[in-house]
Chains A and B, each alone.
Chain A
């Protein structure tokens, strides 16, 4: 057997990014539209409290709640934390305090940033007010932050019908997370071998199956696959489909064939595109070989070898 070499730890940047599009309930819609219009709306619960930020359902009774109340734009800090190193996406780029602020007329507190010169200028119980963003779209970020503001608390809230022209019905919340991805031992070895145009599988020490690509464990036996086995380069199409829809950012003419290919010596089929043959002539049992492009780190596609088709019995367990 070939002993498994200690793989170099591969890593690559991985960004996961989604623009989440979310619809709003009637209370959230009124609240976020209100922020756009510099109006802060809470909602009254069955027990008479005013929740801010407002929710669609009563946290105690779970009933729908719809009685909106306009609260003040000044309020009181109920707790705070000094953030000396703002992170990406946070409301301010200079050091600030996170604060929970109970706005006048509300019974609960809203989380936001508080722009203050330093931690010594912040304390629980201090008075603050909303600083509005210059450009407002109907989002929690329409509040740019809070700022210190000496004032007397005014606990009166006023009923509000929540009606605004052109109400906001949804938000688009972009989210991006950055990772440094490492594939682990088995896949690092596989990728490293591919760079040399060799396809290495790994054999299960228990059931002797050869997995390509290897994932580090035999899913039947639940043990590590360590023994390296070179497979291919030729293989057999076990099954395939004809792709008729052009994928975004993929420069391949449709229709084309995407196939499961059992490389010679492998006990698991991998995926690949079939080229060099009209799409409607690809068939189960077709013998294929990889086609590498200059500098490519994996086969660009597979093409017919010209050998006779494989007998069904030779690959029926690999379907």
Chain B
């Protein structure tokens, strides 16, 4: 039996900003929900399944996802689920739900307000509570350890990393949702001081607030809702051992494996033309390109990627949404999207999306 085909049929996101103190989480999220539903002409009550991704630690607000549900219109009760991680994993859950045949449409959304807290400290709380969390190793420092390992290996250098930053932020000049757009030339970037050596500020993602939403639909429903659906050929997600010192930080076997299971390397699959990679730090793009076997013909992060906007819990879902939107617009035939969670590319999700020929 052939599995059902499921597609991303709509995508919306906020204009990501450094802070949004005047808005509660649901106030920030609601316009995005309205926009994505309007794109397919559906009302909340017509959606079969809703799944969201968020993390209460970001804004320090317990059970914030239940408040966010107010923006969906969740009463009378709807079929709904939540993941305490990036919305890309909420999309995965919704995709599985649609594959079972129990739903034909799904609303997936995620949001994060990092501005109320100190993100570098907040993220230490996701680490091993016995051996790592008591040391408060911040997210930039952990990424810097990975970058140094990559430089030691000879896979990149600081100039090449500055090139990734400049290319991403220049691409973001065409992305009205980007928080950071435009960049000095790579050589000029190297004049800046280190934030945590070997990383400079330009190697790191902006910290900010934002939200995103997609609508998934199966088979004929997808064709009805979208002129050119972005069909999900496959999705898989895999995770590394949690001990940083157990891993080879220059490699991401979980990304490679997820990509294989998502069908990226299938013999009968045509090559991808576009990749949206969730690489919050410049050095992580180097690792992901290698694991996904992307050659120079592939357009990587035309949106600017997470270096242009990295709203926590939404930035991974945005990669899937951006890749799908390029297919919707006819700008891509086949795209790979990647989302990550945790320190140093701990947990990785890969999706292969296709337009109809």
Contacts and interface: CB of A to CB of B under 8 A. Distances in A.
A121 to B, nearest CB: 12
A224 B30 contact: yes
B22 A184 contact: yes
B330 interface: no
Interface residues of B, number: 62
Contacts of B198: 81
Interface stretch (B70-78, B183-191, B314-322): B70-78
Given A28-B130, A175-B133, A222 B246 contact: no
A195 interface: no
A292 interface: no
A141 B30 contact: no
A191 to B, nearest CB: 12
Interface stretch (A155-163, A211-219, A252-260, A278-286): A211-219
A80 B196 CA distance: 10
B197 to A, nearest CB: 4
Contacts of A179: 59-60, 116-117
B116 A182 contact: yes
Interface in B36-89: 44, 57, 59-61, 67, 69-76
B60 A81 contact: no
SS class of chain A's interface: helix, strand, loop or mixed? mixed
B136 A87 contact: yes
Given A91-B135, A179-B116, A82 B60 contact: no
Interface string B129-153: 1111111111001101111110010
B122 A111 contact: no
A80 to B, nearest CB: 6
A175 B67 CA distance: 25
B125 A177 contact: yes
B221 interface: no
B148 A90 contact: no
Given A28-B130, A100-B145, A178-B118, A216 B21 contact: no
A55 B132 CA distance: 13
Contacts of A141: 134-135
A151 to B, nearest CB: 20
Interface string A183-222: 1111110000000000000000000000000011111111
Q: Which of A51, A124, A217 has the most CB of B within 10 A?
A: A217
Interface stretch (B210-218, B222-230, B237-245, B305-313): B237-245
Contacts of A83: 141, 196
Contacts of A16: 60
Interface string A94-111: 000011101000001111
B265 interface: no
B71 A81 contact: no
B136 A140 contact: no
A223 interface: yes
Given A14-B60, A182-B21, A216-B70, A223 B30 contact: yes
B164 interface: no
Contacts of B21: 9, 11, 180, 182
A88 B24 contact: no
B178 to A, nearest CB: 24
Given A79-B152, A89-B136, A222-B72, A53 B131 contact: yes
Interface in A96-147: 98-100, 102, 108-113, 119, 124, 139-141
A79 B148 contact: yes
B233 interface: no
B72 A90 contact: no
Given A124-B149, A182-B116, A217-B71, 13 more contacts: A32-B130, A55-B243, A79-B148, A79-B152, A83-B141, A84-B197, A88-B121, A98-B144, A171-B130, A177-B118, A220-B73, A222-B30, A222-B70
Interface of B: 21-27, 30, 33-34, 44, 57, 59-61, 67, 69-76, 116-118, 120-122, 124-125, 129-138, 141-142, 144-149, 152, 194, 196-199, 241, 243-246, 249
User: Which 9 residue pairs are nearest across A and B when measured between Cβ atoms?
Assistant: A184-B24, A222-B73, A109-B245, A81-B144, A89-B136, A82-B197, A179-B60, A217-B70, A79-B149
